[in-house]
Amino acid sequence: MATTDRQATTLALAHALSAAERGLAVIPLSRTKLPALRSPHRLDPPGTPPCHGECGRPGHGVYDATADPARIRALFAMAPWATGYGIACGLPPHRLIGVDLDTKGDTDSTGALRELGLRHLFTIPPTVVVITPSGGRHLWLTGPPEVVVPNSAGRLAPGIDIRGAGGYLVGPGSRTERGVYGVAPGTGHLAPAACPWALLRLLVAPGWVGGSRGGAGGGSGFGGGGGSRAGGDSGSGSRSGSNAESGSGSGAGAGSRSRAGLGSGARSGTGAGSNTGAGSGSGAGSSSRTGSGSGFQHGQGLVHFVLSAHEGQRNTRLFWAACRAYENGLALSGELLEAALRTGLTEREARSTLASAARLTGWRGEGGVRR
């Protein structure tokens, strides 16, 4: 093995052990971002029941994931070609959820996430952000214990993939064929933030969400590093799976050991910090059309909804209120603009948001805001 490969393996092991100290279960990865250890069942005859590690042998992908330092060292010793490490999602104590914002082609995944936030009233809070060699971003969120988030590719919107139970994220500091991954500047001191409930509802299948609306938080930041690029591409449970960037799987891996902190200190990296979306809250109920008493009350309720917005919620509330007004035939553009200006939005921001709501709803009524 070349010296550079040995150094990469040593660095990957060091990063993996550091992540494990913070309660994250890890596995060794190859330069292709796939699990470094091949499945011991690859030669089994067709029809053999799947094994998720019950046989006791390594090579089961994310099901090998562990936070036990001795076990991690043993896995890397069996895969001296490993140059990276994967972090299993969906496991306690952090129950990571990875939001993968792709940058391939003409995909505007960041804009798509912002649009989802505006429509569903959520904001991605400040959290750990990892940047891929291609410039993509991975947002680290946490989920509550009663919710199982499945893996998906493009289901939320084009260019947005989700990594949940049975998936993994390529850990910061990993070296792959396309470059080195690291934590984005300004996010290394953060802990993975709780996934907003409105977003969580979009991520899970019907009936999978329990009664609690909490998200698991925890920790005091994630130390990444090892390079000027970062990332968190994910994959499925076994090495025989397809491309690690878009792979998915089901089920949880080996349990990780619980610790509260997520480390400290970010290394150098390129790309951007956190995130986009919209504030939360509840608006006025539905109503009749303009001209009725209930329509007037609904209009006043929407204006009040905008006026009561806090910083970080103003654009979202304005967009939501405008959509509800236009859908109900209420010509409230002027009133909503005035309310938005009173909350601190600039006129340009407010007009742009109102125009977006009009485009989305097809509003062509009278009383619109005129330049």
Q: Which residues, at least 6 apart from 276, have a Cβ–Cβ distance to it below 8 Å?
A: 110, 113, 114, 117, 123, 124
Query: Of the candidates 235, 254, 272, which is a domain's last residue?
Result: 235
Claim to verify: residue 91 and residue 183 sit in the same structural domain = yes
Mean pLDDT of 75-85: 95
Say if residue 118's pLDDT is above 50.
yes
Domain membership of residue 240 (yes or no) is: no
Claim to verify: residue 215 and residue 340 sit in the same structural domain = no
Q: Out of 10-14, 87-91, 159-163, 275-279, which region has the weakest mean confidence (pLDDT)?
A: 275-279
Taking all residues of the chain, what is their mean pLDDT, rounded to a whole number?
76
Domain membership of residue 137 (yes or no) is: yes
Say if residue 10's pLDDT is above 70.
yes
| Contact present, 201 and 44 (Cβ < 8 Å) | no
Claim to verify: residue 190 and residue 84 sit in the same structural domain = yes
Task: Band the pLDDT of 364: cuts 50, 70, 90.
Answer: confident
Here the tokens at position 193 are 């933030």
Q: What is the pLDDT of residue 325?
A: 86
Read off the pLDDT of residues 45-54 as tens digits, 9 standing for 90 and up.
Answer: 888 888 888 8
Claim to verify: residue 337 and residue 211 sit in the same structural domain = no
| Contact present, 127 and 98 (Cβ < 8 Å) | no
Say if residue 141's pLDDT is above 70.
yes
What Å distances lie between residue 77 and 5, 57, 71, CA to CA?
14, 14, 10
- Which of the pair, 362 or 144, is modelled with greater confidence? 144
What percent of the chain stands above pLDDT 70? 71
Mean pLDDT of 25-44: 93
Claim to verify: residue 76 and residue 165 sit in the same structural domain = yes
What Å distances lie between residue 256 and 242, 281, 296, 321, 341, CA to CA?
25, 35, 55, 43, 49
Q: What is the pLDDT of residue 320?
A: 83
Domain membership of residue 255 (yes or no) is: no
**pTM score, whole prediction:** 0.63
Q: What is the pLDDT of residue 228?
A: 29
Say if residue 301's pLDDT is above 60.
yes
Claim to verify: residue 50 and residue 182 sit in the same structural domain = yes
DSSP labels, 38-90: PPTTTTSPTTPPP-SSTTS-S--GGGG-B--HHHHHHHHHT-TT--EEEEESS
- 226, amino acid identity: G
Q: What is the number of domains present in the chain?
A: 2
Claim to verify: residue 152 and residue 20 sit in the same structural domain = yes
Q: What is the pLDDT of residue 322?
A: 87
Domain membership of residue 305 as a residue range: 293-361
Q: What is the pLDDT of residue 189?
A: 86
Claim to verify: residue 18 and residue 96 sit in the same structural domain = yes
Claim to verify: residue 184 and residue 328 sit in the same structural domain = no
Sheet containing 84-88: give its strands across: 26-29, 84-88, 168-170, 234-235
Here the tokens at position 58 are 């390594």
Q: Please tell me what DSSP assigns to residue 277.
A: B
- Which of the pair, 290 or 336, is modelled with greater confidence? 336
Closest CA to 96 of 213, 232, 5: 232
What is the helix (H) or strand (E) element at residue 12, kind and residue range? helix 3-21
